[in-house]
Structure 1
Amino acid sequence: MISLADMITEQAEPYSSSKGESQQVISSEAIAAIAKHHAQPGSSIEAQALRQKITPLRYLRNQNAIPAQEQILLLESSIAQVGLGGLGGTLLDIFLRTGIGSIKAADGDLFEESNLNRQSLSTQKTLGWEKSRAANQRAYTINPSVSFDARHLFLKPKELPEFLTGADIAIDALGGLETRLALQQAAARVDIPLVTGALAGWTGYVGVILPGQPGPAEIMGRNNAAEEMLGCPAPTVTLIASLMAALTVQLLSGHPSLLAASIFVIDLKSLTFEKISL
């Protein structure tokens, strides 16, 4: 059998940028064929290609912002995300396109028409669907190299540690406040960071909670009145999710967190951004 490295080299093609710079690249189609031949996830093939200084075309526009060694770290990383609604759907889209190698997610909800204003997985076609079903289909169409598993269930507090086990980072994409503290405690129990975010109207916050550190769930309570009264407009949802995704990518890439033991509070009405220590 031809070796993995040799097969990647055979499938590589020359590529010249608009500036005339040349490099070797490999297509998503070639990655999929090699992955099938060697019975490995596509993300593993992409990581190996990068080690051979061959850039997957999918990540060509990542490379000046995410160096090859950091892209490899992302491809070999695993995250566990709780929630596939407003924040969760946008986060999933970003994680898939960025190339995080393994993602598992859970959400027991169904899509309804009121989700259409902000939830990227919610469409006229998916109304009434399980959010996990829409997420599984979306993941395959965006990036089949990612190992993705979405489950249709509302995780109970006692189930959270097992769900998070094996992940490098936990992602809090929950709606409301009811389960956030349990998720924070579960992440600490399995000794992984938690990236969290929430919003109400035009305001929101994001944070990184390292095991043993305080988090916003300890001071926000469990009352969802603010979100219900102020609403969930798409610009706030998208911004908070994007900030959460950036924090996740930084952590997985080996960079220290700039938000440990603190939160970043955003108000899009007044365009204010504040860092608050917890």
Structure 2
Amino acid sequence: MSSDMAEAIRGKAEPTELPAGSPGLFISLNHIASIALAHDVPGWKVEREALINGIIPKRYLRSMNSITANDQLKLLDSSIAQVGLGGLGGTLLEILLRTGIGRIRTADGDSFEESNLNRQALSTVHSLGAHKASAAINRAAEINPSVECEIATQFLDATSLPTFVKGADLVIDALGGLETRLTLQRSAAEANIPMVTGALAGWTGYVGVVQPGQTGPADIMGSDNAAEVILGCPAPAVSLFASLMACEAIKILTGHTSSLESSMLIVDLHSHTFEKVQL
């Protein structure tokens, strides 16, 4: 980064009290946006430079120290390839935008219908009939314009998935149904990229982490969507499983070991049971 940009960041820094009670400096999102525009760079690069200089972007103050400044730097430097913008995908996108992942690439060829309103975070009565990808673009700009978002309005398959995941630090399987999950898992493995995956039917679901070459849930779950179709996807379950997936994504991107590698966390919200199964 140029010394001019670092100087501009320091010039806009303001004093604050950090969550632990110690003094610190922050920079507001408006100043980040103006500096990014002046230097023709995405906002996440300004935020990164601020953190290097000991200045915390104000939007991340309430994450400290659960996500440390060093962790936040790693997240800003990260790139995610997420497939799916429905129930899990829409909630995941919102969490990851708020967390401050620097670059997010995502795709979904579907459009909103009324039956999505019960659980899909990107759906509203005003977006019915619109592409989910279009809603994702608008939501990303509203939540965190510092994040670089590349959003495709298409369904991905065995031909397009390898190109889509290429260059990402992490793949996220937020697909609806089971048909394409094994293809996505194999595409991530061939690109040597770890993957976070999750699915649910009714009040039960799973979350897993698949390192390249490991067995994953898609190897054993098959492709029959009957359970999801019959049991549906209630909003509390969607939110929980998306949150669990986001936690694993953050662990991996910040260099922490996930306890779900080569395993599945199976959750039943009716009985409140959490069981980890080795694959």
Fold shared, TM-score > 0.5 on shorter chain: yes
Task: Give the secondary-structure state (helix, strand or coil) at the position aligned to 1:61.
Answer: helix
Question: 2-side partners of 1:220 and 1:19: how far apart?
Answer: 45
TM-score for the superposition, normalised by structure 2: 0.98
User: Is the 8 Å Cα contact of residues 19 and 61 (structure 2) preserved in structure 1?
Assistant: no
1:18 to 1:154, Cα distance in 2 relative to 1, 3 A:
closer
Task: Give the secondary-structure state (helix, strand or coil) at the position aligned to 1:236.
Answer: helix
Aligned residue in 1 for 2:221: 220
State the shift of 1:81 in Å: 0.4
> 1:260 and 2:261 equivalent?
yes
The residue correspondences of 1:1-278 to structure 2 (distance < 5 A) are 3-16=4-17, 21-278=22-279
Question: 2-side partners of 1:235 and 1:20: how far apart?
Answer: 34
1:114-168 deviations in Å (ceiling 9; x for gaps): 0000000000011110000000000000000000121100011121010000100
Question: 2-side partners of 1:58 and 1:169: how far apart?
Answer: 23
1:36-68 deviations in Å (ceiling 9; x for gaps): 111111001101100100000010001110110
Q: Structure 1 stretch 180-189 or stretch 37-46: which is displaced more?
A: 37-46
Letter in 2 for 1:59: Y
Question: 2-side partners of 1:52 and 1:257: how far apart?
Answer: 30
User: Is the 8 Å Cα contact of residues 19 and 65 (structure 2) preserved in structure 1?
Assistant: no
Letter in 1 for 2:15: P
Task: Give the secondary-structure state (helix, strand or coil) at the position aligned to 2:213.
Answer: coil
Question: 1-side partners of 2:238 and 2:52: how far apart?
Answer: 36
Task: Give the secondary-structure state (helix, strand or coil) at the position aligned to 2:81.
Answer: strand
Question: 2-side partners of 1:128 and 1:215: how far apart?
Answer: 34
User: Is the 8 Å Cα contact of residues 209 and 262 (structure 2) preserved in structure 1?
Assistant: yes
State the shift of 1:110 in Å: 0.3
Question: 2-side partners of 1:264 and 1:20: how far apart?
Answer: 36
Task: Give the secondary-structure state (helix, strand or coil) at the position aligned to 1:135.
Answer: helix
- How many positions carry a matched residue from both structures? 278
Question: 2-side partners of 1:4 and 1:216: how far apart?
Answer: 46
TM-score for the superposition, normalised by structure 1: 0.98
User: Is the 8 Å Cα contact of residues 209 and 248 (structure 2) preserved in structure 1?
Assistant: yes
State the shift of 1:16 in Å: 2.9
Task: Give the secondary-structure state (helix, strand or coil) at the position aligned to 2:160.
Answer: helix
Question: 2-side partners of 1:9 and 1:164: how far apart?
Answer: 36
Q: Which runs of 5+ in 1 are unaligned?
A: none
User: Is the 8 Å Cα contact of residues 87 and 238 (structure 2) preserved in structure 1?
Assistant: yes
Percent identity between the aligned chains? 58
Q: Structure 1 stretch 149-158 or stretch 139-148: which is displaced more?
A: 149-158
User: Is the 8 Å Cα contact of residues 209 and 258 (structure 2) preserved in structure 1?
Assistant: yes
1:187-210 deviations in Å (ceiling 9; x for gaps): 001000010000000000000000
Question: 2-side partners of 1:171 and 1:276: how far apart?
Answer: 20
Q: Which runs of 5+ in 2 are unaligned?
A: none
Letter in 2 for 1:27: S
Task: Give the secondary-structure state (helix, strand or coil) at the position aligned to 1:158.
Answer: coil
Letter in 1 for 2:271: S
> What's the C-alpha RMSD, in Å, of the aligned pairs?
1.2
